[in-house]
Amino acid sequence: MRDALRLSLALGALALGCTSVTPAIDVGPRLDAGPAIDAADALDAPDDPDPVVSTEERAALETLGWSRLVMPPDPTNAFADDPRAAHLGHTLFFDTGLSGPLLDGDDDGSPTTLGVRGEPGRVSCAGCHVPADGFVDTRTLGGQISLAASWVLRRTPTLLDVAHRRLMMWDGRRDSLFSQAVGPIESWNEMNSSRLFVAEQIASRYRSEYESIFGALPPLEDTVRFPVLSPSETGCELRPGGTRVCRGVPGDGADFDGMSASDRDAVTRVVVNVGKAIGAYERLLSCGASRFDDWLAGDASALDRAEIRGAVLFVGRAGCIACHAGPLLTDQSFHDVGLAPATVAVVFIDLDDRGAALGIEQLLASPLRSTSVFSDGDDGRLAALPDPARREGAFLTPPLRCLAAHPSFMHTGQLRSLTEVIDFFDRGGHPAGYLGTNELRPLGLSTRERADLVAFLRALEGPGPAAALRVPPT
């Protein structure tokens, strides 16, 4: 039974969007999807008209081709393309030993949880970003939001092709892979750990690997300077009334805050380097080319008629390309799609989520942002933030490759199929129940057209990362 009904921010989750405004569908996996699904199979009417692709529509479709995708450098991470860093990050991605105690009563040891309440060392990145299923959460009961140390109120996004993003998270509160990786470590409802504990674990279990890449560790064995935290002591403890008492993190008023400023910076540097190693691994995770790309390359048999009609709609009358542009089918911007949050996972509803309005504010205040002393470089990404007037209730447009197998969609996880997503955008979103201003307008698509769009989205499945990247390294 749930500990309590939790209300929190959320609303316009990006979904797939088709129209002259915002689409938002999550980037998901669907690695090595099965044979193409003809949209006509789902319709009563047998009509299957020939697709017509104009010169202009073909040119627009070419801009979505995988062959145009180029891996960008990561100036924030000097080790972004270091194979040693990627190997260490790969190992750490699967390491549950960096996490603190589970906190939620729903952590009951059943197969859809990671363990029993009070147990430490049960959560890794792979616990919610399930590698076998495209790095989204297919483990948690219901497949909508994730249960780790406790419940989170937004759906876990995929990590496929995350290296191409300049702003991370649904609300943009992180602007580098290294800072994104540090966030869940210290989040009470994710890994429920601390930078002090993780630094000590690196020193005791990964010293040689770490120092061969990043140089000498601080003297973490000096327990006078660096208080020792056990797995059961790290992170946060829930107290009556919902308050949290945390240890090993900035602001704890105890272990971490009691260290000297230089020692606090040294510990933070270790955990930042952990994030850079994980970021190097994440740069290797990609969806890959799809049947759609084979069709663009000249294989006329790669797509069926419905899929081609859906592709034409995507760049034409439905207007999806307005927000889902480029080889990853995302403008990497933020949009309000008028999503009124609904109850998910039986009792949770993410209310009044300000999205980018709060996320960008948090980013600019973060001591780990891309312009901080912990970053290895600055490419000016903070100079291109979304217009403050358009941030309220807006969420990051996710890419659309490798998403057909996702168990749910939108940042709230409340839509359960691509058909529901397309129907939502065709209606122009919800009339009320969200913050900000809805950018969508009704599309007036026919049943056939909606099915064709779904068919096209299913044609965007790629092979996914190499099999060796989906399991712990040997």
- For residue 126, how far is the Cα from the chain centroid? 12
Q: What's the whole-number average pLDDT of the chain?
A: 92
The pLDDT, as a whole number, for residue 242 is 83
Q: What is the pLDDT of residues 240-252, one digit of tens each?
A: 988 999 999 999 9
Phi and psi at residue 246, to the nearest 5°: -120, 155
Mean pLDDT lowest for which of 142-151, 237-246, 333-342? 237-246
Percentage of residues in the chain having pLDDT higher than 90: 89
Which residues have C-beta within 8 Å of that of residue 98, sequence separation ≥ 6?
92, 124, 185, 191, 193, 197, 198, 201
Query: If you ran DSSP here, which 8-state letter would residue 384 be given?
Result: G
d(CA 134, CA 131): 6
Higher pLDDT among residues 320 and 37, named by residue: 320
CA angle in degrees (0–180, nearest 5) for 93-95-96: 120
Q: Residues 404-413, buried b or exposed e (16+ Cβ, 10 A)?
A: bbbbbbbbbb
Q: How many CA atoms lie within 13 A of 463 on its CB side?
A: 8
Q: Which residue has the tokens 């499945």?
A: 461
Query: If you ran DSSP here, which 8-state letter would residue 162 be given?
Result: G
Mean pLDDT lowest for which of 20-24, 97-101, 114-118, 331-335? 20-24
The pLDDT, as a whole number, for residue 413 is 97
Q: What is the pLDDT of residues 381-391, one digit of tens each?
A: 999 899 999 99
In 222-348, which residue ranges form alpha helices assigned H by DSSP?
261-282, 291-296, 305-315
The pLDDT, as a whole number, for residue 375 is 98
d(CA 454, CA 361): 36
6 pLDDT band, cuts 50/70/90, is: very low
d(CA 67, CA 90): 27
Q: In order of start, what are the domains of the chain with their CATH numbers?
A: 1-71+286-355+392-474 (1.10.760.10), 83-282 (1.10.760.10)
322 token code pair? 């307005």
46 pLDDT band, cuts 50/70/90, is: low
Which residues have C-beta within 8 Å of that of residue 162, sequence separation ≥ 6?
168, 177, 180, 282, 285
457 in Cβ contact with 18 (< 8 Å)? no
**In this model, does residue 12 exceed pLDDT 60?**
no
Phi and psi at residue 33, to the nearest 5°: -60, 160
Q: What is the pLDDT of residues 252-297, one digit of tens each?
A: 999 999 999 999 999 999 999 999 999 999 999 999 999 999 999 9
**In this model, does residue 197 exceed pLDDT 60?**
yes
Q: Which amino acid is at 205?
A: R
217 token code pair? 């560790």
